[in-house]
Amino acid sequence: MKCEICDTENISFAWTDTHGIAQCWQCGTPYRIYHYEGEGKDKKRVEKEPELVVLPEWVPVLRAYWQSEHRRIPGGHSFEGGQELASKSDHQDFSKWVKVHKHEFFEVTS
């Protein structure tokens, strides 16, 4: 499997603080690793390929950020001081980059 954001072949994962969600070791993008079907007592884990946990409209943004900066992407599935691979400065720099480049990806009204 190849990461949909950084194109790393044979992607490796690191867990986040959210059950079933891991992040690409290279770029930090979140993927659902554990999948379930059913409800209540009938809920069972099923085998499926890892699934990107990013809204489709953000995929080009994350790809552009990674290609431009090669910095880890804050995945949003961990607590501060938890399993998140992105550092505090990665979070800050990502936010600044998005603020500068948002007009390239989104219709900005203000």
CB 63 within 8 A of CB 5: yes
Pairing of strands 13-15, 21-24: antiparallel
Tokens 């867990």 — which residue? 15
Beta partners for residue 15, in sequence order? 22
- Tell me: pLDDT of 34 over 90: yes
- The pTM score is 0.90
- Tell me: pLDDT of 43 over 70: yes
Q: What percent of the chain has pLDDT over 90?
A: 90
Tokens 């607590």 — which residue? 79
Looking at residue 109, its pLDDT comes to 67
In this structure, of 6-20, 55-69, 79-93, the range with the lowest mean pLDDT score is 79-93
Looking at residue 110, its pLDDT comes to 59
